[in-house]
Structure 1
Amino acid sequence: MANSSKSAKYDCIIIGGGHNGLIAAAYLAKRGKSVCVLERRPMLGGCSVTEELWPGYKVSTASYVVSLLLPEIISDLQLKQNGLTILPRVPSSFTPMRDGRHLMLGADKQQNYDQIAGFSKADAESFTHYEKVLEDVAMHLEPVLNQAAPDLLPLPASWRRIGMGKKIRDLKKGWALRKALASMEETIPEGIELLTAAARPVLERWFETEVLKTTLATDAVIG
């Protein structure tokens, strides 16, 4: 990127102009800090860049969805007011097979059921419940998990220099997590498994067809 004066002084220096670095820089600047972002490449954005790999064809070279972009960030940084437009991905996935068949999934639950039932009716039924568990996790747990983690476990004496105010805030966060888990009711065990277990055993337990398991495994690769 553009050269900066060697004598310039900054409150914060961020190495890497990827999406995380840019967001951190924007928040720091909003708090009145002077920020310098250093980037090796001739463009900013990191995994979120769009590049012209072939003449006339622009593609997202890494991040093809923005499912992890928090609404709070969009609002705080006024991204929509500054030109951000999010396009719905319809369909959400297309998995071709060597025998000419394919599996296509999207936002329409009935179409998803019909597509999966073409390979396995049992998997179509399981997928309906699988999506419900994911929706429960997103609705009840995501708001809690997006906070800074509280210190709820006993800490070594050298770590215990924590003020009463933080202890109270951490207890409130812990209580909020407990309430979020309780609100999931019967889907608690499955929800915890989806959050903590490896993708392969989870998908093996839920589904029988390889095409569906392969399609859903991409979520584990993305993170």
Structure 2
Amino acid sequence: MTGQRTTMSNHQILNPADHGGLRINTEAGTDMGDAVMASLAVPAEFRRLACEYPILFRHDLQSDTFSSLALFGFEDGENLFLDGRAWDASIKPLAMAIQPFLVGRGPDDADTVQVHIDMGSPRISATGEGVRVFDDAGQPTPYAEQIIEMLGALDQGYRASSAFFAALDRYELLEPFSMDVTLENGMQHRLVGYHMVDEAKVASLEPGALAELHAAGHLAPLFMAMASLGNLGKLVRRKNRRVNG
């Protein structure tokens, strides 16, 4: 999962001794790893994301767990928010915005959070251009401080998401979702393998269940996910514009 711990050898603990001169290319682009169909999205950021992206859910059969995703396109490798070197939206999911950084854990303490960096990322500048991570005194730059804040928010949101998904499962509030997309030029795409919030079941929840979801902070992201589905039509229009050139 983007933004979470990994054991890949090109991930290093960020520190000024090893990365004092590091610069990061913050532009968008397919060569920057942005050509993806969807990104992890945590419930804590649904309110921000719902104005731009459809928020869907995916069930992992092996672990029997759900995750939530912000949808960017209709086929693998398609990001309809990419416009050359720009990201055509007011906000990115945290899991995209923090790249090439990620949350790491101490080997003996799961509660110890470390900032890691993927030194194999194409965002690592090899030309001496880009945004500095540390200043001349070895202190984090404003850019790095912003990244650290976002990493903390992503980590906290990810930890809290299990309770959200457990509540949705307890009340059976997710249903399988598929969508047939027919473009203006006659091309067809089928979006399958996702789940969405079952609005009928939400509407039929008993007052006690609604109160429980509200008290736990689950009701707001639930409604934000429902509202975000209005962006599916906008995504189709983006696809038509892209295809029609």
Structure 1 length-normalised TM: 0.26
Higher strand share: 2
Which gives a bigger RCO, structure 1 or 2 (Cα 8 Å, sep 6+)? 2
Larger Rg: 1
Higher helix share: 1
Structure 2 length-normalised TM: 0.24
